[in-house]
Structure 1
């Protein structure tokens, strides 16, 4: 590490220590019910236009009751103070026991809610030590009777979800103790936010996917590239060119570390790899082969082996897995878990990893988070999942934000992926950032397309947004594009945009343009590699039977999405904490303040001066495409802050500065 960087960083840290408090922000929260009705428990999609009729009586449904904080304003003030450089309360975090004692609902109130639910015939799935919520299960008949409504099936963008057909009511005896209620299956729409090259073809009949299961896969006309322009392919003319670098094979951990400038010890004797740090990862379910897979991956990529001390799991038993069909089964989450573990280990090879699995993709994820927070098992938590925009009942959003406030008050940084479907307008009919990434109390991680040279050095980044134009054959044998470049096929892009739920947090004021924010929270905050066409290699032994959890042979594949960007950023945070000897906690106030003081330490991802495109040949269909980068729906990269990459791409130079700012 260059000593001049260190001297500058120390100076910045000293300057930042004089910064005044940034203030606080709050969700537009629902008050505790003054009667026993909960109108904010009705999802926006539970309407007449989407109604498919009454839910079958014996359908099992998960519910969750959220209890109010004893002093929400105080919890917000604490979260702000402990996270804001220059505030007298900076880094004076509470222990889990102290936070629970000061802010959590009382044991007596929690017991009353649990007792009422049991009396109504529900089974209690979980009550965390913090008592912030109760997860329970029952049949549709039980739910309808207990909450004075009728559950119906609703069509939500092609999925059938269960929800209340009228405003639900809780028993009057516990109504004053309840902040919010969830008795719909919308939360089971939470999915991993990862992408692979060519997955846009699945809904494209012209691509040939699924037309002939036995059809052999054609060989691509040009090899993928291990670095920019390693291989080129000829395409019809676009942007004044006919030869384009082929899409990426997927970077190795050493390429990612090199591109983002992993620093060495000043004496060159020791790698900074997050030693002494623990990064927690949350996903649904659990891979049965994760430890063996990460060690195979480590051996192949020159990373340290992991054991039962450096890699630990807190996971439900397979018998406890629930809602598997709605949640895409354990096999649907295994790739996410492998991606997260591999990515953290790639960027922080000396850090410990704790994987905590949810029993489903709904309340199970809350329970997994609470296990970490209630025991403070880590101070960095990577979360590579999200909902479809903010299309959740306000009760669910408010209850989830209470969990985020607990994390911030305890000095735990929550990193959430911003999403993989751009502004979500294609699914929702209107633009929206994804929740939980849009919460003002978490760090939202957006995505970039990253290119490196032969030696693994950083070349350039663009905002992640793939627009693909199919190459077609003309009657005379020549080729052309099916539409003018960049084409009409959206192949994924980083989530982000302006929240319709949260006011602008004080830390974003003066950094996020007023013309963009208009007084609201904007996502993301930072960004890292996410484009599946430049992605990263991961390894896993895929689950081939979701009932027995039998796995197949170990394989490697390239994958992307903000599911990749988030654990990469979490690993970088672990290294930064090691370098500085400081814990960040909730990092946003320090990051935004740093962007004002030394904006150059962020890699500002701006629109390329001339369009950048890659050649892509699908191994599934044989179709060839021009893939133009930085085409993320209505979201646009710009100089300074933007709603694709936030403050910019993170790197280890930034990690050094951010660590010292956090003193």
Structure 2
């Protein structure tokens, strides 16, 4: 069991027996990142052969911030693949006619083994927007503790994928404490450093022309993280991503008014990684709660397919009906009289995870594959940034509800068992695990 205020946090191990069985939708999984020159298909490979390879995929993964936090604290929602073979590795192996490489528990890969920027942009209809939008916008990342290698690791990720440089020197990247200091930073923490790397890389992948502000709370208390959100807004960020959460409490409504009520700012929060059940601050009526999916390539018109991310009865995207937070006026589902989680979603399944570069990790350092709703929250914050500055009096969490046709509706899978079906089971239209769906361009994220 981790101690929430300890500077070193170790994760617990998890195992997925089969990527195909775990997600329920990995019929054809692939990765076409243009930057991977060595991943080019040497000969035509049938979808059946790829599906057979993907079915063999199995991974172990761990939570980089440990188990459920105690009251008044939050844990990050980042999951790092630590062993086995990912669907990407299996697919690339069958294309090349070789034995798939494996991920070592104590060392990361020399090259990426998850989705890269071009994959994510293509999956969510953002290729043109990512190339042309976002300039002049600032996406803030709020996390706990310090990642001393954040700037260097960000540079490595962006260089590998051919993205524009984003450095302190050119004014694109800035790291501050929850008080705004650039010199008096929190204690370094290897667990949260992995979370920070994931967040920075996802902003880079989706909105490579945007500036990035990293605000580091001095600890993972709800109050300190909330103070960091306020600092991000004070410094001018109109888009703030929060990839952490903890159990709900009667204090949540006061936290809402103190930390998350910022009209004109798009604030996203991870729905959680422990399956069905509400988490805060995703339950705040002022944020966009972001659920998680399993994302894989398909032979349909979109070229991709998604289902609810679920590994087991206790591992998968969060969702649920808040016990404390009032329902926002734009949320109209009838089964929950209070705030319902989630609003929208994006990829989060570690078996179909994203590539991240982190050199300050507790175990493997370098290239890793990450999942968790810690990936989906910064993705959605960055989509908001591509869509443009929110109206000064708007709560951008309402935007997706104004144009539901501009989202990919996720209609299969579940994240657990619940008394009201759509709280935990995907369906046509709104459901808890995936909300209204995943991005299909920008139309659902602008005012």
TM-score between both structures, scaled by the size of structure 1: 0.50
Counterpart in the other structure of 1:524: 342
Q: Does 1:636 align with 2:445?
A: no
User: Counterparts in 2 of 1:257-296, with a 5 A limit?
Assistant: 257-264=121-128, 271-296=131-156
Q: Does 1:365 align with 2:176?
A: no
Counterpart selection for 1:493 from 294, 316, 323: 316
User: Counterparts in 2 of 1:401-440, with a 5 A limit?
Assistant: 401-404=256-259, 406-408=261-263, 411-423=264-276, 432-440=277-285
Deviations 1:166-222 (A, max 9, x none): xxxxxxxxxxxxxxxxxxxx223x100122347xxxxxxxxxxxxxxxxxx8x7699
Counterpart in the other structure of 2:369: 558
Q: Does 1:313 align with 2:175?
A: yes
**1:358–1:365 CA contact under 8 A, matched in 2:** yes
Deviations 1:332-385 (A, max 9, x none): 100000000000010000000000000000132122122123x25211100000
**2:414–2:433 CA contact under 8 A, matched in 1:** no
Deviations 1:553-573 (A, max 9, x none): 951010011100000111111
Query: Structure 2 vs 1, CA of residues 314 and 434 (structure 1 numbering), >3 Å: closer, same or farther?
Result: same
User: Counterparts in 2 of 1:154-193, with a 5 A limit?
Assistant: 186-188=71-73, 190-193=74-77
For 1:466 and 1:293, locate their aligned partners in 2 and report how far apart those are by CA, in whole Å.
Answer: 29
For 1:228 and 1:439, locate their aligned partners in 2 and report how far apart those are by CA, in whole Å.
Answer: 44
When Rg is computed on C-alpha atoms for both structures, the one with the higher figure is 1
User: Counterparts in 2 of 1:591-610, with a 5 A limit?
Assistant: 591-595=400-404, 600-607=405-412
Q: Does 1:567 align with 2:375?
A: no
User: Counterparts in 2 of 1:444-523, with a 5 A limit?
Assistant: 444-452=289-297, 458-467=303-312, 490=313, 492-509=315-332, 512=333, 514=334, 516-517=335-336, 519-523=337-341
For 1:648 and 1:542, locate their aligned partners in 2 and report how far apart those are by CA, in whole Å.
Answer: 34
User: Counterparts in 2 of 1:524-543, with a 5 A limit?
Assistant: 524-543=342-361
3-state DSSP of counterpart to 1:187: coil
Deviations 1:90-121 (A, max 9, x none): xxxxxxxxxxxxxxxxxxxxxxxxxxxxxxxx
Measure how far apart 1:251 and its partner are: 0.6
3-state DSSP of counterpart to 2:151: helix
Deviations 1:392-443 (A, max 9, x none): 3x2x3132111356412xx1121100100112xxxxxxxx310110111111
Query: Structure 2 vs 1, CA of residues 226 and 640 (structure 1 numbering), >3 Å: closer, same or farther?
Result: same
**Structure 2: runs of 5 or more not aligned:** 7-65, 99-111, 418-423
TM-score between both structures, scaled by the size of structure 2: 0.72
User: Counterparts in 2 of 1:76-115, with a 5 A limit?
Assistant: none
3-state DSSP of counterpart to 1:588: helix
Q: Does 1:224 align with 2:89?
A: yes
Deviations 1:601-646 (A, max 9, x none): 2111001xxxxxxxxxxxxxxxxxxxxxx34112111111001000
Measure how far apart 1:252 and its partner are: 1.2
For 2:204 and 2:163, locate their aligned partners in 1 and report how far apart those are by CA, in whole Å.
Answer: 8
Matched length? 359
For 1:602 and 1:566, locate their aligned partners in 2 and report how far apart those are by CA, in whole Å.
Answer: 16
For 1:465 and 1:264, locate their aligned partners in 2 and report how far apart those are by CA, in whole Å.
Answer: 31
Query: Structure 2 vs 1, CA of residues 341 and 456 (structure 1 numbering), >3 Å: closer, same or farther?
Result: farther
For 2:86 and 2:115, locate their aligned partners in 1 and report how far apart those are by CA, in whole Å.
Answer: 21
Query: Structure 2 vs 1, CA of residues 223 and 460 (structure 1 numbering), >3 Å: closer, same or farther?
Result: closer
